[in-house]
Structure 1
Amino acid sequence: MERVKVTIYTDPGCPFGFNAQRQELQLLWHYGERLDVTRMMIVLTEKSSSYEERGLKPEMVVANAKRLRASYGMPMLTEPRDRLVATIQACRAYVGARIHGDARADLLLRALRRRAFSLGQALDELETIYGASQDSGIAPEELDSWLADEFVERALREDMAATRAPLPEALALPQRLSRSNGGLRYSTASAVFERDDRRVVMPGFQPFAVYEVAVANVAADVERRPPPQSVEEVLAWAPYPLATAEVAELRGIGLDQAREELQRAGAKLVPAAGDGYWSAG
């Protein structure tokens, strides 16, 4: 049976993408074996800048971070950064891993996000990118070859172009898109679901229920895997340590109950940004 093609538009430096990891884990748990997922890099900005240059104030960015953390419970720092960082080099590193068919690409994206939002490291600094690559088992010389590869650069520019050419269904909901150089682009966590001649376009950050509706509309015969029955089952399945909010999302429970279940299970917590990441004990 043909698998469902899922294209997700994201960026390692976007706070909405960081928080959308909860919904994406749900998607992979319930339908992962029947999906082919491709993550396209938006590249929020190619050049680091001051807040003033972008017409922003630090307190605006801090307020948004606090709202997201309060809403979704992810381990996300809320202190102001000294600048708005370019994400192009981090995106280039991810695309390099992706187009070389490297299974570590999603581990790299996860590591970049964790370093940026939970540890406060800047994505426009090579030290951060090399650190994330080592977290993912990617040797520095491999990363160097990807960053200098003309095919990687071409693929990155194709990602950027596709992001800035939303499908008609997305353009019908301009309020769910973002502005870019006078035009519209997919906002972070936008997704397109396709199989055969069926297609559902999901612009913008959405709850997991919308992902489920999209899957049902393009592939009604795809069976939904039941929710996990324990945190042990979640941690054994996850390819990397999970935040409390991610475990809670997968289990369908609150943050406090998830934390209690994890502690009872003897899971190990690495603290970060007021919460942390759990792995099996």
Structure 2
Amino acid sequence: MTSASPGRPRSTGLGGTGLGGTGADGGGAVEIVEYTDPACPWAWGSEPAFRHLRALTAGRARWRRVFGILFDDGDDPAPDPAAETAWYSRYIADIARHTRAPYAHRLRWVAATSRPASLAAKAAERQGAIAAERVLRRLRETTFVLGTPGDTAERVLDALAGLDGVDVGRLGAELGEPSVVAAVRRDHAEARDPIPEAYAFRAPGPHGTGVKETDDGVRYALPTLVFSGPGGRVAAPGWRSMAEYTAALRTVAPGHLWQAALIGPEEALAEYRSLTGPDLSLLTGRTNPPSTAVRVETAGGPLWLHPDEATTHPALAASSGLKSPRS
């Protein structure tokens, strides 16, 4: 991770609803900006750490999410879609070996664009933090558990149908609302204007740089967390450990104890609605899910669903490996 900048955090002027509490720590507010994309396999693998980090900072930091648009509408189509899908499927599996995240037995296609899913996730923020988390999680699972990316408005809404705690009808009506479209457009631009700390970032491993080249310049490596506070600013690009994230917090908010208590598997399932093996391990310190959890098999290990979540989850129809309750 790059060392903290001694200057104040750069102001984006974007505002936004934020996904966490707004609080002060010592001499100033703590902010975490998450640069991500619904279709990013590294971001999917980072979800357990991000969930733990959101719990750790709840009420003490403002969390803002920026969608980087990994796949865009204007990208040239692959000359051989089947070959591209086979290559990208292997790419996801390689990443999952590092992150231990579930991945689909078969990727049906590579997302033509991640903009519709990003619009849906941005629109969901209008319905509050719980809705925002559930929508983004379901869209990630559509790609990485089922292998059917939501790359059109119709596919997005099909994936979200019946999702508890979300007014999907309202969300669908707001997908093309000008302010939502403008917010995602700003996200796209912000993700392509990395801070110096991201450029300077170097680390060993498969995700060791802070910026990625694009057809029109550079963008943040996805995912990237930018921490800012009274102690300065730290960029944490790529798939990082919880120790690295807590070190970043201690740098930008020195003198504060950043610890999150483990919760029980039942509480975790009730709160998060779906859990991977790494989720269970990091959030609960255990490996066994609750006896009521509904198991969905993937090529990278099981996904565990809350029974209520399972009643509307696309895996109910798409996965022949669904079992309820677990054995």
Assess same fold via TM > 0.5: yes
**Equivalences for 1:1-281 in 2 at 5 Å?**
2=24, 3-47=29-73, 50-52=77-79, 57-98=84-125, 100=126, 102-103=128-129, 104-134=131-161, 135-173=163-201, 175-196=209-230, 198-228=232-262, 230-236=264-270, 238-252=271-285, 258=287, 261-262=288-289, 265-274=290-299, 275-279=302-306
Q: In the alignment, residue 222 of structure 1 is paired with which amino acid?
A: H
SS of 1:20's partner is: helix
Distance 1:61 1:227 in 2: 37
Distance 1:204 1:142 in 2: 33
- TM-superposed CA distance for 1:92, in Å, is 1.0
Change (3 A) 1:114 1:199: same
Query: Does the CA-based 8 Å contact 1:49-1:83 persist in structure 2?
Result: no
- TM-superposed CA distance for 1:242, in Å, is 1.1
Q: Work out the percentage of aligned pairs sharing the same amino acid.
A: 23
Give the number of the structure whose residues are more often helix, by fraction.
1
- TM-superposed CA distance for 1:181, in Å, is 2.0
Query: Does the CA-based 8 Å contact 1:108-1:132 persist in structure 2?
Result: no
Q: In the alignment, residue 69 of structure 2 is paired with which amino acid?
A: V
Distance 2:62 2:176 in 1: 27
After superposition, what is the alpha-carbon deviation per residue over 1:137-187, rounded to whole angstroms, capped at 9, x for unaligned?
Answer: 433431233122111111111101100000011122373211122411011
- TM-superposed CA distance for 1:252, in Å, is 4.3
Q: In the alignment, residue 28 of structure 1 is paired with which amino acid?
A: R
Q: In the alignment, residue 273 of structure 1 is paired with which amino acid?
A: T
Unaligned runs of 5+ in 2: 1-22, 203-208, 308-324
Unaligned runs of 5+ in 1: none
Change (3 A) 1:225 1:143: same
Aligned length: 270
The normalised TM-score by structure 1 is: 0.85
Query: Does the CA-based 8 Å contact 1:13-1:116 persist in structure 2?
Result: yes
- TM-superposed CA distance for 1:69, in Å, is 2.4
- TM-superposed CA distance for 1:15, in Å, is 0.8
Query: Does the CA-based 8 Å contact 1:49-1:85 persist in structure 2?
Result: no
Change (3 A) 1:220 1:179: same
The normalised TM-score by structure 2 is: 0.74
Give the RMSD, CA atoms, in angstroms: 2.6
Flag as ranges the 4+ runs of structure 1 deviating above 6 A: none
Q: In the alignment, residue 250 of structure 2 is paired with which amino acid?
A: A
SS of 2:272's partner is: coil
Distance 2:164 2:304 in 1: 16
- TM-superposed CA distance for 1:227, in Å, is 3.9
After superposition, what is the alpha-carbon deviation per residue over 1:33-61, rounded to whole angstroms, capped at 9, x for unaligned?
Answer: 3221111001112227644479x844432
Change (3 A) 1:183 1:173: farther
Change (3 A) 1:44 1:229: closer
After superposition, what is the alpha-carbon deviation per residue over 1:234-268, rounded to whole angstroms, capped at 9, x for unaligned?
Answer: 335x3322112211122446xxxx0xx32xx4241
Change (3 A) 1:164 1:229: closer
Q: Which moved more, 1:74-83 or 1:145-154?
A: 74-83
SS of 2:144's partner is: helix
